[in-house]
Amino acid sequence: MIEVSDSKLSRYAIHYVGNANNDTVRLSDTIFTDMSMELEAAWTTVAFQKFEQLDEYRFTHASNIHMNEMYAYATEIFRNESEFLSQSQHIATHLHNASQHPNIKSGELFIGLFDNCTWVDRTVRVLAIMKIDEKDTFIDVKQADGVLAIQDVEGISLKRVNNTALIVDFGNDTPSVFIRTKKKDDVVYWTERFLHVNVADESYHKTTEALQACKKFITKEDFTNTEKLTYLAKTLEYFEKEESFLPTTYVEEVFEAPNEAQRDTLLTMIAPLATDISLTAVEKVQKSYKRKIKLDDHIEIHVAMRDASDVEKYIESGIDEQGRKYYKVFFDEEQ
């Protein structure tokens, strides 16, 4: 992925983008090139936070990729950096026109060009685009002539998630686009209307969605805790050993005897997600398959077993003669 420890924010511009229904776009005529190390580090942190968790996309167009506005603006900046300001203004105007839903907030648009980033074994440039429509309140304390002055100021948090697009320049190759959105409601306007991109690896994307859908079904259905642990383990086993995700086969292999309603519900969720399995996606998503048994308010049993048969071998549940529920946990050696 991308390494930015030696990167340089060579230039950036900030424009104001309003909601197209009731606000305007205000374009700046200023490019910032001279900044402190602290400010550059802050912008880098905001732009690239949790970059390794982002999915990869590609620009697309029904007839000609060069007719994709964002592809045209970004590649022109990479081709001729003297065009940075005018192209950044085009990007801001394009985003403004795409911001037609009434829930889209107005805010500042940061567009920055980062040089000397590292992608695997090559040096690349990255165009970072961030829509900042929420700010935090900070307390600013200053001392002058022995007197403390305190005031509240609005600022951009280094930890707050913004709608972000990172466009990676590979020279003559098609740029890769990495996207972060604040919430699911922003996906349509940011990904489709503004950037107009598709996932670069369809099998990776569908494998991720399938694993998440299976997990959601298992954890929400009325199964016992041990059944949930078993089904989660069997799900990971299935995705690790099979080359393709076939929804009907998956249901038959993982669930012993689901009732008809459960089977129909699950198949409705996962039927569109049939795909070749991406082991990279499996390795990533399996970390979120947290297997634990929650008992009452303050008791949790964390289970790290990956083999479904081990769940039944080492964990036993039941009800004693007094009607109290219990779990028995068996082990070979105490660690």
> Among residues 122, 132, 10, which one has the least CA distance to residue 77?
10
Angle at 200 between CA 194 and CA 204, to 5 degrees: 125
The angle that helices 247-254 and 260-270 make with each other, rounded to 10 degrees, is 140
Angle at 40 between CA 119 and CA 93, to 5 degrees: 85
Bridge-based pairing of strands 8-17 and 25-26 is: antiparallel
Q: Check residue 230 and give its pLDDT.
A: 84
Q: Check residue 312 and give its pLDDT.
A: 65
Q: Which amino acid is at 230?
A: T
Residues 277, 207 contacting (CB under 8 angstroms): yes
Q: Check residue 311 and give its pLDDT.
A: 64
> Among residues 24, 44, 26, which one has the least CA distance to residue 35?
44
CA atoms within 13 A of residue 120's CA, in its CB half-sphere: 2
State how far the Cα of 42 lies from the Cα of 59, in Å rounded to an integer. Answer: 28
SS3 268: helix
> Among residues 133, 107, 143, 84, which one has the least CA distance to residue 18?
107
Main-chain dihedrals φ then ψ at residue 125, nearest 5 degrees:
-105, 150
State how far the Cα of 165 lies from the Cα of 144, in Å rounded to an integer. Answer: 42
State how far the Cα of 85 lies from the Cα of 106, in Å rounded to an integer. Answer: 21
> Among residues 182, 153, 155, which one has the least CA distance to residue 42?
155
Query: 150 has which bridge partners?
Result: 141
Whether the predicted model's global pTM rises above the 0.85 cut: no
Q: Which residues lie below 8 Å from residue 124, measured CB to CB, with a gap of 6+?
A: 2, 117, 118, 168, 169, 170
> Among residues 155, 80, 69, 81, which one has the least CA distance to residue 112?
81
pLDDT tens digit at each of 335 positions of the chain: 788 999 999 999 999 998 888 888 999 999 999 999 999 999 999 999 887 777 789 999 989 999 999 999 999 999 999 999 999 999 999 999 999 888 888 999 999 999 999 988 889 999 999 999 887 777 888 887 778 888 777 777 777 778 999 999 988 778 999 998 888 778 889 999 999 998 888 898 899 999 999 999 998 888 887 788 888 889 999 999 999 999 999 999 999 777 888 899 999 999 999 999 998 888 888 877 766 666 666 666 666 655 555 666 667 777 888 887 777 777 777 76
> Among residues 78, 127, 104, which one has the least CA distance to residue 190?
104
State how far the Cα of 191 lies from the Cα of 160, in Å rounded to an integer. Answer: 19
Structure-block tokens of residue 7 = 């990167």
**In the block, residue with structure tokens 């992925």:** 1
Residues 247, 271 contacting (CB under 8 angstroms): yes
Angle at 127 between CA 59 and CA 180, to 5 degrees: 65
